[in-house]
Amino acid sequence: MDLITKSLLSEFSREHQLENLSESQQFERFAAFLTISRWVSETIDPDEIVVGSGSDTGIDAIAILVNGSLVDDEASVQEFAERNGFLDVAFLFVQAETSSSFDAAKIGTFGFGVGDFFNTNPVLPRSQEINDLARVMSSIYSQSSKFKRANPVCRLYYVTTGIWVGDRALEARRSAVIDDLSALRIFSSVEFNPVDATAIQRLHRESRNSVSR
């Protein structure tokens, strides 16, 4: 891990009282916070979006946004549907690795785990957190008639401390994940965003500027 990213991670861990966690657990929360908070107006607790543990289906963090707000239960979905009369939805998934390189196999595992999250008959074992969020997802799709303008957006973030250089094998695996998820025909768009050390530092600056504003 480069000196700047390590410094930012240490500062983040102090601010969020995460110093008792391992570096990899701290990095999961750091990566989740940077990639997800930019889409949410309210302050988020990184512990509330991280699902990385046993039976996490290769996913470290999940955020379900409905009408711009983070939701984690079915009652909130129903409340937004009744109050606003529509549902504007985005699903965000994060995989974080402290390694200094991107791994094609892990990209594939991450993509498969996300696809399985939307499977009505999942094949991967699920933690309680994944099960709870899958129920929220099902509640959202049960009210598809209320989708505003378009189907939900699906965004994946694969975060490492390395550098993304557009390697052909990695790009091919990334494209395959996007194609597989798009083939489900339940999203208006699918994004797979590789986030390297340079992007981590940029997202951190953006988060600080947002707080200042």
pTM for the whole structure: 0.94
What would the mean pLDDT of 163-167 be, rounded to a whole number? 88
Share of the chain above pLDDT 70, in %: 96
Planar angle of CA 34, 38, 42, nearest 5 degrees: 105
Res. 53: pLDDT tops 80: no
Res. 52: pLDDT tops 70: no
Res. 209: pLDDT tops 80: no
Higher-confidence position of 137 and 206 = 137
Res. 210: pLDDT tops 80: no
Share of the chain above pLDDT 90, in %: 78
pLDDT of 213 reads: 40
Could you tell me if 200 and 5 are in contact, meaning their C-beta atoms sit under 8 angstroms apart?
yes
